[in-house]
Amino acid sequence: SFLSLNLGKKTKGKAEKQICQVVLDHFEKQYTAELGDVWSSVRDVLTSPWCWQHALLLNRFSQCPGLESSLAVQGYHPAFPAALPYLPAAFRCFIRRAPGRFPAQKHQPGRLKEYYLLNAASLLPVLALEVKDGEDVLDLCAAPGGKSVAILQCACPGHFHCNEYDDLRSRWLEQTIESFIPNPLTNLIMVSKLDGRQIGDLKPEFYDKVLVDAPCSNDRGWLFSGDPQQAVLRLMRRKELSSLQFQLLRSAIKALRPGGSLVYSTCTLSKAENSDVISLILDSCRNVMPVDISEMARGVSQEFTFFSGTQQHELLVLPEKGRAWGPMYVAKLKKMSST
């Protein structure tokens, strides 16, 4: 979902990015079957980058007097209502109905950024995770780092492990942390480049909370993949993603302490990578229970549109005009005993 931000930048003043027809045809077939009537309005938003919106997550570690009032003048309002089951006071995110883009801040070594631009739906997994001060937290697939930064806006973990297997993305993650998190606090953060499928065996029952923001079909990004060959290859390998996601989840469950909880998220609408993966985990791991997140979903229903065909432990954000957030799938699980 973060890749969509770069799109906005590149399309301004240049030729618009082209829709990749082979991907659109594939989505058309799959999502008409899976989502029914709502797919056509979702498709209209996904294929129109000029109607995409961006949220600003304020950085509590960087004082910027006047930013909130200047946002208010420009029509921004808080994205999340105070009545949510979990909304730490320091967690401040602003959105507005109109599309368009707030200027991004450049990375400057030694200087903290004041805000992070992102798809507001990507904060839902963080709010579902409900991290509290002192907890040991693992962000299993952490790059580019937006969710890691968001977790640190919520609480101060005892130990925070941010992992990213991909080399290039791992450097991006380190830069994000450097841009948003002040020095003494960065000592609590361990950044690793491990294969996420192995962390459960390396650190069994070590964490209170685990976020698995899994590699997935990035619907927004894939629709604009400029290279048709690459797109065809992606679509062919798409079937392998659910098996990787399943293995990452298995590893995450091993890494969780009994009583700990896990949030799984993707930025795709694909049932095979969302509900199906979670169903498979619930069927095959006897020590895991679904956690009801419908109260959080109800609490944010003013700003987000959800697919009605999900269960209480999951939600799927559908982009629509004026609320162009998502796609974002979120599911929450809890580990019972260690057997």
DSSP H helices in the chain: 3-11, 21-35, 39-46, 67-73, 124-129, 146-154, 167-180, 183-186, 199-202, 219-223, 228-255, 275-284, 294-299
Tell me if 44 is assigned to a ligand binding site.
Answer: no
Q: Which of 93, 216, 267, 285 is catalytic?
A: 267
| Burial environment of residue 109 by CB neighbours within 10 A (0 to 12, 13 to 18, 19 or more) | exposed
Tell me if 133 is assigned to a ligand binding site.
Answer: no
Tell me if 164 is assigned to a ligand binding site.
Answer: yes
Element (H, E) at 56: strand 55-58
Contact 304, 128 (CB under 8 A): no
Tell me if 146 is assigned to a ligand binding site.
Answer: yes
Tell me if 195 is assigned to a ligand binding site.
Answer: yes
Tell me if 141 is assigned to a ligand binding site.
Answer: yes
| 267 flagged as catalytic | yes
| Token output for 195 | 């294969």
How many other CB atoms sit within 10 Å of the CB of residue 278? Answer: 24
Tell me if 285 is assigned to a ligand binding site.
Answer: no
Could you give phi then psi for residue 89, rounded to 5 degrees? -60, -35
User: What is the arrangement of strands in the sheet containing 55-58, beginning at the earlier edge strand?
Assistant: 77-78, 93-95, 55-58, 115-118
* CA 34/CA 39 separation, integer angstroms: 9
Tell me if 213 is assigned to a ligand binding site.
Answer: yes
SS3 180: helix
Return the sign of the alpha-carbon dihedral for residues 141, 145, 147, 152. positive
**What does the longest C-alpha to C-alpha distance in the chain come to?**
58
Give the amino acid at 330: V
Please state the residue numbers annotated as binding site: 141-147, 164, 195, 213
Annotation: binding site for S-adenosyl-L-methionine? 141-147, 164, 195, 213
Active-site positions read 267
